[in-house]
Amino acid sequence: SEAGLETKLEAQSQRLVASTKNLEDARAEVSRLTSTYTDLMADLESEVSSGQIEIEQLREGLRVSVSDDIIFASGSADLDPIGRQVLDKVSQKLQKLDYTIEVQGHTDDRGLKASLRSRYPSNWELAAARASRVVRLMQEQGIDGSRLRVVSFASFQPLVPNENAESRSQNRRIEIRLKPRSGQSVRDFALPRAGD
């Protein structure tokens, strides 16, 4: 019937409008991510060039990896003044994006020194404490706590094999991952990672 055809065409038209809006929203989100990535690279140029920080744009979000050596005082979960400055810069940029921020703590595979074992029974607790300290700083900087997550990987996601002091130093890190909130996705429109 003509009425049935009209109803069908109207429904198709509404779906087309919705999918166009979703595409525009996704493109706008990719643009915001790219801008944040570019700003972070510029603001942290010296730290990136010295290898203390890695910043990568992922298919869905960003990854900022920061060496424990520049964030924390040696053998503790207390922020170093230089680490605080770096995290302040990162926090200011991340406030603009309505993304979940997952802060991951990673350690090397060495056991803890006796001085640390009294506070942290294992690398699980140390990595969690360090990630938690970063999250607290981000919240102090004005990022809504509902956007923040703390995850501890201890020594179980190394970047490189723990073969020597240099490789272990690479594995001791904080990774800050921006992830779309549930229901959001920019998968089809974000820039591909190297190797994808």
* Distance set, CA 156 to CA 115, 133, 162 (Å): 23, 20, 11
According to the model, what pLDDT value does residue 18 have? 66
According to the model, what pLDDT value does residue 150 have? 98
CB 196 within 8 A of CB 59: yes
Q: Which residues of the chain have pLDDT under 70?
A: 1, 18, 182-196
Helix or strand holding residue 109 (H, E):
none
According to the model, what pLDDT value does residue 113 have? 85
Which residue do the tokens 């920061």 mark? 66
* Distance set, CA 140 to CA 57, 63, 65, 77, 188 (Å): 25, 21, 20, 17, 34
Q: Are strands 99-106 and 148-154 parallel, antiparallel or unpaired?
A: parallel
Q: What is the pLDDT of residues 83-135, one digit of tens each?
A: 899 899 899 988 878 889 999 999 999 988 888 888 999 999 999 999 999 99
CA angle 23, 54, 136 (to 5 degrees): 85
